[in-house]
Amino acid sequence: MYTEHEELSRREFIKGVGVAAAAFSAALGSTAAAQEAKAGSDRLIRVGIIGPGNQGRKKLMANAVRIPGVKFTAVCDIQSSNLEAGLEVAGEGAKGYEDYREMLDKEDFEACIIAVPLNMHAPLAIAALQAGKHVFCEKQMGRTIEACKDMLRAQRASGKLLQIGHQRRYNPTYHHALKLMKQGVLGEITHIRALWHRNGSWRRRVPNDHPELERLINWRLYEESSAGLMGELGSHQLDVCNWFLDSTPLAVTGFGGLDYWKDGREVYDNVNCVFEYPNGVRITYTSITTNAYDDYYEQIMGTEGTLILTHEDEGLLFRERRAEKLLWEKMAHKEEVGGKQAIVLDASATPKKKGEARGPGEALGEKGEQEDPYYLELFDFFRCIREGGEIFCDGEVGLRSAATCLLANEAMEKRQVIEFNEEHFAV
């Protein structure tokens, strides 16, 4: 005998990718079938980018140029090497600028991608919105809570779209995991452990003949331009916590320090935080730079199971001994991990019935390389521009994640418990 809930879980699980796709498309308010039906669904969108550096060029441009109907017509960077490299990816006809204001004044592109150091997100995004562009801005949304709120205000005043680059929000594996979690396979969620552990200095090489570029190239290491490990790494993972728990934290405390890489940097090289969420859920978050054994993952713990999302592309489900067996467990793909049996979440393995509607994540996932969540987040950004759709990872989401991380930094600096209130998360 299986409960109705278990039977539903079984059917949903067997549907495999359908689970992820359904969640993805429901969340995004779209299906590929609907997209195809829309006339002009691949009409040309002219795009400008500010900051074709590591992320802007190697991830965002590299993926965006594969999306049908997307053309970079303008590229802006204050570092000539990155400007040239960005123009190369943009291809024929793109114009280069060192000054973003000049680019925004002169160029009539529709969408602007912003991938510059954190403290420049707000001024550039606001300028682009005021110039009438739809904006895709990398995470963390802004250097301060007020900067994020200014971005939101500018977005609302402009009537344009603003998307923040938390790519996990567009990852079919995460949608699959959330759907299973909502079905109750973890029981009651009581704890989350999220972490990102590395062993390295986080320092980038500065060319010998250009020592003046140190602060620009190593912007992550300095207070003015960076919110440190919480902003760069934690903001993705705390966004997952806010998303999966459908809430924001009540309080945070923690310890952090600059204890190992004492090389003139200003941000902590290790952070250790505890967040309290509603219903007694507690989250521990750590990010360190002196030991990479744990790597990175989000581990969601409930009374009946544990879900581990790791490397942004793998989901493992471990059922507790006390949990009642689900029928579909027998059929699930399993692996032995650390002496325990794990059910492997595979958001793209199971074939679909012919003619069944497909969501964007799923339809794209079929094409291998296009499973890349950077592709998926950008694809959906352009889809929303073309169809007038709602952005899934919008400025409100970005603000909630940023506020979560920025107050954690404040708690560590003051060595206090900081209580959150509604004002932190809303404009």
Ligand X SMILES: NC(=O)c1ccc[n+]([C@@H]2O[C@H](COP(=O)([O-])OP(=O)(O)OC[C@H]3O[C@@H](n4cnc5c(N)ncnc54)[C@H](O)[C@@H]3O)[C@@H](O)[C@H]2O)c1
* Nearest distance, CB of residue 168 and ligand X, angstroms: 9
Which of 34, 62, 65, 78 is close enough to bind ligand X by CB under 6 A? Answer: 78
Supply the minimum distance, in Å, between the C-beta of residue 103 and ligand X. Answer: 9
Q: Give the end-to-end CA distance of the chain in Å, rounded to a whole number.
A: 50
Between 55 and 299, whose beta carbon lies closer to ligand X?
55
> Is position 167 an interface residue for ligand X (rule: CB under 6 A)?
yes
C-alpha to C-alpha distance for 194 and 284, rounded to whole angstroms = 6
Check binding of 117 to ligand X (CB under 6 A): yes
Residues 17-56: x where in contact with ligand X by CB under 6 A, - otherwise, as a string: ---------------------------------xx-xxxx
Residue 116 vs 345, nearer CB to ligand X: 116
Contact 148, 213 (CB under 8 A): no
By the rule CB under 6 A, 127 interacts with ligand X: no
Alpha helices in 57-139 (DSSP H): 62-64, 80-90, 100-106, 121-130
- The distance of closest approach from Cβ of residue 128 to ligand X in the complex, given in angstroms and rounded to an integer, is 11
The number of angstroms, rounded, from the C-alpha of 294 to the middle of its chain's C-alpha atoms is: 20
Q: Which is nearer to ligand X, 281 or 402 (CB)?
A: 402
**Shortest separation between residue 55's beta carbon and ligand X, angstroms:** 3
What lies within 8 Å, CB to CB, of 94 at 6+ separation is 72, 73, 74, 75, 87
Question: Which residue in the shown chain puts its C-beta closest to ligand X?
Answer: 53
Part in contact with ligand X (CB under 6 A); list of ranges 110-118, 296-304, 338-346, 416-424: 110-118
- 190 to 219: interface string for ligand X, x by CB under 6 A: --------------------------x---
Minimum distance, C-beta of residue 131 to ligand X, in the bound complex (Å): 14
Binding residue for ligand X, selected from 24, 72, 100, 109, defined by CB under 6 A: 100
Cα 182 to Cα 21: distance, rounded to the nearest angstrom: 15
Q: Can residue 227 be called a binding residue for ligand X (CB under 6 A)?
A: no
Residues 247-306 that bind ligand X (CB under 6 A): none
Q: Which of 28, 49, 70, 118 binds ligand X (CB under 6 A)?
A: 118
Alpha carbon distance 171, 376 (integer Å): 7
Q: How far apart are CA 367 and CA 369, in angstroms?
A: 6
Query: For the purposes of burial, counting CB atoms within 10 Å of the CB of 15, is it exposed (0-12), middle (13-18) or buried (19 or more)?
Result: middle
The reply on whether position 395 binds ligand X by CB under 6 A is no
Binding segment (CB under 6 A) for ligand X, from list 113-121, 144-152, 169-177, 292-300: 113-121
Least distance between ligand X and beta carbon 130 (Å): 16
* Residue choice 6, 77, 107, 372 for contact with ligand X (CB under 6 A): 77
Select the residue interacting with ligand X from 31, 35, 73, 82 (CB under 6 A).
82
Closest to 270 (Cα-Cα) out of 283, 254, 249? 254
Burial 299-320 (b: 16+ CB within 10 A, else e): bbbbebbbbbbeebeebbbbbe
User: Does the footprint of ligand X cover residue 12 (CB under 6 A)?
Assistant: no
Considering the complex, what minimum distance in angstroms separates the CB of residue 88 from ligand X? 14
> Do 373 and 168 touch, CB atoms closer than 8 A?
yes
Residue 222 to residue 118: CA distance in whole angstroms? 11
Lookup: tokens for 109: 């592109």
**Amino acid in position 72:** F
**Total residues at interface with ligand X (CB under 6 A):** 23
Q: What share of the chain is helix, strand, coil (3-state, %, to 5)?
A: 45, 20, 35
CA–CA gap between residue 236 and residue 314 (Å, rounded): 16
Using rule CB under 6 A, residue 165 touches ligand X: yes
5 three-class SS: helix
Contacts of 368 (CB under 8 A, 6+ apart): none
Please, which residue, 121 or 179, has the CB nearer to ligand X?
Answer: 121
Which chain residues interact with ligand X by CB under 6 A?
50-51, 53-56, 76-79, 82, 100, 115-118, 120, 138-139, 165, 167, 216, 232
